[in-house]
Structure 1
Amino acid sequence: MKINGPNQSDFNPYHKQQLPKQMEVKQTMKKDQLEISNEAKQLHEDNRENKTRTAKIDRLKEMIESGEYKMNYDQTAQKLIDFFTGK
């Protein structure tokens, strides 16, 4: 029988503990995935530009630039009051 002493190069008492860690590392090296919920898709669709709204905004911009747009200050003030009072 041959005894090599306490510094044996091929002996590792923790070998069984290292195997699960190595398997865990291999499992975590999967590729990333992105999943978008149906609610998020619906919100994205709702935020897309609406052609009729875009046309209305363009028409208002042209009216403002040409000086044709007249603002009703009383109506604007009333809408602000209604908004902030919760009506």
Structure 2
Amino acid sequence: MFGKEAVTMKINNVGPSGMNPYKNHLKHQQLQMNNQPKGDQLEISNKAKEMQEKSQFTEARQEKIAKLKISIENGTYQVDSKAVANKMIDYYFNK
């Protein structure tokens, strides 16, 4: 019927009003991509930063964190699995 001749087909001005559903679909996809959120962001106000810096617990907290880091690096940090389980249960049941 067609033989070895190449058959090309243009998809332009399809439909009674000249609409091309393929182009419309592409436009729809592009609009969806543009409307997607760029990602989560977290902003801490200057007042919150000041409060954090002035906190009397900052030094004690930093000291505790330093000790934890050292014990983790040394491999001596032990997790109290019962305490973790109890906290998880308390959180789950809103206690």
What TM-score do the two structures reach when normalised by structure 2? 0.42
More helix by share: 1
Q: Name which one, 1 or 2, has greater alpha-carbon Rg.
A: 1
Higher relative contact order, chain-length normalized (CA < 8 Å, sep 6+) = 1
